[in-house]
Structure 1
Amino acid sequence: MTEIYETQPERTDLPLVVMPSVLQSMIEPIKAQFPALRDVARVRMFEEFTSDESVLAERVADADALLVGGYHISDDLLHTLGERSRIKCIVFCGTGVASYINLDLARTLKIRVCNAEHYGDHAVAEHTFALMLELVRRTGQLDADVKAGNWAWAGGDGLQLAGRKLGIIGLGGIGSTVAGIAKAFGMEVSAWNSHVPAEHFARTGAHPVDDLNELIAGSDVVSVHLPLNDATRGIVTAENLEHLRPGTLFINTARSEVIESGALLARLGKGDIPAGLDVFDHEPLAADDPICHVPGVVLTPHVGWRTDGAFKELTRQMIQCLTAYFAGEDYNVVVSERG
């Protein structure tokens, strides 16, 4: 039986916030934030993860606001929420809400959609380097070798990051944090100069490069940190990826959709580009997906953002979105219910 956690259940005079599905690792961090809603709203959280939309719809039937995390809301479910319930505010547990909710439809239905910002800058930046270091030092394979009794010196030769050139595509919060870590490693850092405020370059010390092809061609490591929106969807093209030199490391901890559909798989299929990927066109990734069988590629299941520090900041912002909504104020509003 699913555990249900409720706050102030007797306060039926207060609006109801429902979290119908939750990742196990988020349960305790978000519980710690619920006291901020005392006398503002009551909360009902179902302590299991499900993406079954019939179950989700049933659980939120009497809600005034919805907390969403880890699953997609289809257009059908969004229509149900907008037309058959009292829900006028959806708080998404993350930044890339456009990948999970049809924002144009939410706007039409006059449902406020909020997200969280910069909560995972350090978490994702650190995961970027976890992937990078795995590619250059293969610690996972070496660990397995040693435990199997194989003390193979030849298998331990790696690449050094110090002195290598890192090209960052997307010098926002995460990209800037990556630049800082890269500097500490002794790397030379450049970034694509596309819609990036000058102060980001000044703060990070990254060298601006106007042409994306030039950035890619001149880098030993290319790391993608663009947000996903209408302007960035497919912005990294197959033609851009053709400028990757053999041996260049390619990292994506942003969104797969910022790369032209099919372009990355085609480029990696040549077998000369080591890559570390945390995001994919289809998630969860199936074992028979072609990307799983490309040699020299390290894959992780979209976990770059999942750290204790990120959960703490994420849940704080989620609750602040709700307190602002019920107070008639704006906080991290992506789509306004006011049109």
Structure 2
Amino acid sequence: MIIERNMERTDLPLVVIPACFPSMVPYLERSLDEIAAKARVRMHTDMTLDLDEILNRLAGADVAMTTGIHFTNDILDRLVPTLRCITFGGTGIANFVDIDHAHDLGLMLCNAVHYGDNAVAEHTIALLFEITHKAGRLDVRTRAEGWPGSDITEIGGLTMGLIGFGGIGHRVAELAHGLGMNLTVWARHPDDETLQQLGARRASSIDDVFATADVVSPHLALNDATRGIITASHLDLLRPGSIFLNTARAELVAPGALEQRLRKGDIFAGLDVFSPEPLPADAPLRDCPNTVLTPHVAWRSGKALAGIVQQNVRSVIAFLDGGSYNVV
């Protein structure tokens, strides 16, 4: 379905939402009148990732409001000079757009920040619970087998090792602390006062985290400095029975390093992010029994979706007014 506002006003700039997740539709639809006070608006309510279709839908657009669309440099080249601004429904826009190339083309890029800190942190802990307490898997087995036996692992007393201590990492630390976990944190710019309040130990290095923690969870933005920052050598430091969680970005881990470590069969992983996405049908991770996999949904709570839309709309309005908001 296509929803439009002001399309007869060809004197106004055109804002296009070329695709969106179904759960985002009501939040976006409620925002259209606000944008329509300054522009024409066309919203496509389905979620397509076909780049030819995206290109057709964005023809003539001045602003693109996007979520989950990977823009190739060729697509950007073909959309400019009409397209002047892209808003992205998330923080990690570098995973979807070549930022340097977009800036070379004169495009303004805007993202959304801290909208899903709590949602992602809760999902991180949910993955940890599923690995240690197996509630979902035991539900499936109980229905199919009648009364399967299984041991569980208590979380209290385990050490949670965090790599990165921004909004999400901080919230994970709070939740883990509340569960009685010990905390070890490595960050480039640690908040020592907060670490002290949570009783967290400041790690000397990433190696330190992997060598001492029972559970390791990275919470870093993806950029040139962090891509592949977790290496096979780091993962080899994990002790048998350790758990690796990733709700940040798969590209923080060197390609193939996690799969290689998981093949040893002595650690567990809870993953919500992959490279590429969607996870291919023949991806080795699908056949790893010591994993819990979810399809990049940690950010998709109602509160988080509302926050994304609110910030993206604010970015669009600022751009149309000649200003800026959340510019990358």
Alignment of 1:307-326 (within 5 A): 307-326=301-320
Confirm whether residue 42 of structure 1 aligns to residue 36 of structure 2.
Answer: no
CA distance in 2 between counterparts of 1:325 and 1:200 reads 36
Q: Report the equivalent of 1:132.
A: 128
Q: Report the equivalent of 2:110.
A: 114
Instruction: For residue 11 of structure 1, report the CA deviation from its aligned partner.
Output: 3.5
Alignment of 1:237-252 (within 5 A): 237-252=231-246
Instruction: For residue 162 of structure 1, report the CA deviation from its aligned partner.
Output: 0.8
Q: Report the equivalent of 2:216.
A: 222
The answer as to whether partners of 1:169 and 1:223 remain within 8 angstroms in 2 is yes
Consecutive unaligned residues of structure 1, counting only runs of 5 or more, are 335-339
Secondary structure of 1:317's partner? helix
Q: Report the equivalent of 1:233.
A: 227
**CA deviation map 1:115-160 (0-9, x unaligned):** 00011101111110111100001111211122225223x32x2111
Alignment of 1:143-222 (within 5 A): 143-152=139-148, 154-155=149-150, 157-202=151-196, 204-222=198-216
Secondary structure of 1:333's partner? coil
CA distance in 2 between counterparts of 1:237 and 1:292 reads 21
**CA deviation map 1:273-292 (0-9, x unaligned):** 11101111211112221111
1:73 counterpart letter in structure 2: F
**CA deviation map 1:161-204 (0-9, x unaligned):** 11111001111111101001111111111111323344553565
**CA deviation map 1:93-124 (0-9, x unaligned):** 11110010011110110100110001110111
How large is the RMSD of aligned CA atoms in angstroms?
1.5
Query: Does the C-alpha gap of structure 1 residues 199 and 78 become closer, same or farther in structure 2, counting only changes over 3 Å?
Result: farther
TM-score, structure 1 normalization = 0.93
Q: Report the equivalent of 1:32.
A: 30
Confirm whether residue 258 of structure 1 aligns to residue 256 of structure 2.
Answer: no
Deviates more, 1:202-211 or 1:127-136: 202-211
Match of 1:285 among 271, 279, 284: 279
Instruction: For residue 31 of structure 1, report the CA deviation from its aligned partner.
Output: 1.4
CA distance in 2 between counterparts of 1:159 and 1:107 reads 49
2:91 counterpart letter in structure 1: T
Q: Report the equivalent of 2:62.
A: 64
CA distance in 2 between counterparts of 1:220 and 1:261 reads 23
Query: Does the C-alpha gap of structure 1 residues 195 and 75 become closer, same or farther in structure 2, counting only changes over 3 Å?
Result: same
Equivalent residues, number: 328
Q: Report the equivalent of 1:19.
A: 17
CA distance in 1 between counterparts of 2:50 and 2:140 reads 38
CA distance in 1 between counterparts of 2:41 and 2:327 reads 21
Instruction: For residue 33 of structure 1, report the CA deviation from its aligned partner.
Output: 2.3
Secondary structure of 2:80's partner? helix
The answer as to whether partners of 1:95 and 1:117 remain within 8 angstroms in 2 is yes
Secondary structure of 1:303's partner? coil
TM-score, structure 2 normalization = 0.96
CA distance in 1 between counterparts of 2:142 and 2:283 reads 30
CA distance in 2 between counterparts of 1:204 and 1:110 reads 44
Percent of pairs with identical residues: 45
CA distance in 1 between counterparts of 2:204 and 2:247 reads 22
CA distance in 1 between counterparts of 2:118 and 2:157 reads 23
Q: Report the equivalent of 1:302.
A: 296
CA distance in 1 between counterparts of 2:225 and 2:249 reads 13
**CA deviation map 1:282-317 (0-9, x unaligned):** 111122211111121111111111111110101000
The answer as to whether partners of 1:18 and 1:60 remain within 8 angstroms in 2 is yes
2:295 counterpart letter in structure 1: P
Confirm whether residue 6 of structure 1 aligns to residue 10 of structure 2.
Answer: no
Q: Report the equivalent of 2:93.
A: 97
The answer as to whether partners of 1:116 and 1:332 remain within 8 angstroms in 2 is yes
